[in-house]
A and B are shown apart, each in its own frame.
Chain A
Amino acid sequence: MMWLSANESQALTLSLSVAARSVLLSLPFAVLLAWVLTRRQFVGRTVLDAFVHLPLVLPPVVIGYLLLLLFGTRGPIGGWLERAFGIELIFTRNGAALATAVMSFPLMVRAMRISLENVDRGLEDAARTLGAGAMDRFATITLPLMLPGVLAGAVTAFSAALGEFGAVITFVSNIPGETRTLPLALYSALQTPGGDAAAARLAVISCILGLGGLLLSEWFARRVRRMLGA
């Protein structure tokens, strides 16, 4: 990437790496929650639904702050993770991935739910009469048929993760090479005297990245639809 400066390419690769980690981290949980919220009737479903959507309506700073409380070195979960597995989240790119995962989680779950609601339950019944147990049915019928939604959710979440700012800067700060993703780099450039040109370049990179993501997701969706014979 010779046409990018060292700082720009560092911010770009870091953004991509954080977004990829964030999507991989949230994907299994999102599938599970989409399934639970669509297919199960239980007390507290509405509350759980609202809880999942919370990051959409809360200021990102609040999410960052809550993550600090829970996942900080002295937080209940963060402390345990560090003691048990040696995983440090605060001021690390994994922490940035966690913050973006939480922020983009509702978008991911939403896309999957729409797709899951369109899966014909009659097909699951048919699989059942053919001898498929619950996990088997999910793996061989439900999941493949909701794949368009899973992919759409993953792409949306990935794009959102590239742009996450507030929760990241609050939770893991703005450390070059570790947590300074594209939007944070852009913000830093704006704060630096004479950084206008650098900021503009970063903005263009962000635009290209976003556009590429959208086109890629459309292409993906078309391929999957063709695969499913629709």
Chain B
Amino acid sequence: MLQVAAQKRRGAFALDAQFELPTPGVVALFGRSGCGKSTLVNVIAGLLKADSGWVALDDAVLLDTALRIDVLPERRRIGYVFQDARLFPHLSVAANLRYGQRRAQVPPFVGIDLVADLLDLGALMSRRTHQLSGGERQRVAIGRALLSQPNLLLLDEPLASLDASRREEVLPYLEILRDQLSIPMVYVSHDFDEVLRLATHLVLMESGKTIAQGNLSEMSLNPGVRAIIGADAVGAIVESTVIGRDPASGLLRVQVGHGELKVHFGHAANGAKLRVQLLARDLIVATQAPQHLSVRNTLSGAVTAVMSDDEDSDLIGIDIGGTIIMARVTKAATRELGLAPGLPVWALVKTVSLRPHPI
């Protein structure tokens, strides 16, 4: 368990943050630029002094201002991947990687071969850092942080300085790290797609404060998240279980709530967990069981809430068997269908609009 609480004033800006992350896990600090995400990460790393605060990782207390405990950053065993990589320009890639490894205070559990393998660094070893592309720089920075044998990895918008195609050069590696090494991560981002792919938990920040937190499924329904990512990106993120492959279509069948979805996905064993985002704008709501439609996916459930989203549309919460999904409909549709809490409904979604990710 990672526990963080921190208060800090700097001029007009006030940080007042508190969150917890079950370990191992990946928590995304999510919010608009300038909301204090990086400040909070620097407090966790110890690079910035909090006015008051408390940082603990499992049994180790790293910061407790009340007891005047403040472990030096170089002794916290927290790896930090900066937005601008911060590779040492006078050292080769290999020497950069070994910098933290040499200074590790514990017997290494992450070796240079493993890191080179996971991050595909083999061909870069003898290069100078200024010969690397942006994506390569970040991969080296991630490897360097991992080799310092950290108990926790902080990633401060590691992809923000890369263009979209370069991001794809790095993101899969981060997914591999999450799946193969059980190092908890704090991932700072203002890009919800990255969060969706990497995070297990989400802490929402606004003007220096942590305003909501929870696992990704809970948080996908949070109005604060909706406010940042916009109406078109909002949608429930649900956990599903692989139950087989549909022989006719070749699509993967996954169970969600007490219903079933068919999704495009490569190999996955039965019982494996997939995370599926159901964009609210892509859901169709029916008050009768639909027939004769091309839509592959029909989920039955009951309306839990009708929330006004903007002047024209409502967000309809639907319980599909212990799992809540959200659909966006016009206010006119809400009226005509008589959508109200408790009403049995069917939610329809096209397979092509479903985006499954492994967890």
Query: What is A's interface to B at a CB cutoff of 8 Å?
Result: 120, 122-123, 125-133, 136, 140-141, 144-145, 227-230
Contact = CB atoms under 8 A, between A and B. Distances in A.
Given A132-B103, A229-B128, A125 B47 contact: yes
Interface of B: 45, 47, 72-80, 82, 84, 86, 88-90, 99-100, 103-105, 128-130, 144-145, 148
10 contacts: A120-B86, A125-B73, A126-B82, A126-B86, A128-B73, A129-B73, A131-B100, A133-B74, A228-B90, A229-B130
Given A123-B86, A228-B90, A229-B89, A130 B47 contact: no
B88 A129 contact: no
Contact of B74 (A123, A128, A140, A227): A128
Nearest to A147: B90
A122 B45 CA distance: 13
Contacts of A126: 80, 82, 86, 88
A182 to B, nearest CB: 37
B57 to A, nearest CB: 14
Nearest to B84: A122
Given A127-B88, A230-B130, 4 more contacts: A128-B47, A130-B148, A131-B104, A136-B103
Contact of B99 (A125, A127, A145, A229): A127
A126 B129 CA distance: 15
Contact of A129 (B74, B90, B128, B129): B74
A128 B145 CA distance: 11
Contacts of B82: 122, 126
A145 B90 contact: yes
B99 A129 contact: no
A30 to B, nearest CB: 21
Nearest to B95: A140
Given A136-B103, A229-B128, A129 B78 contact: yes
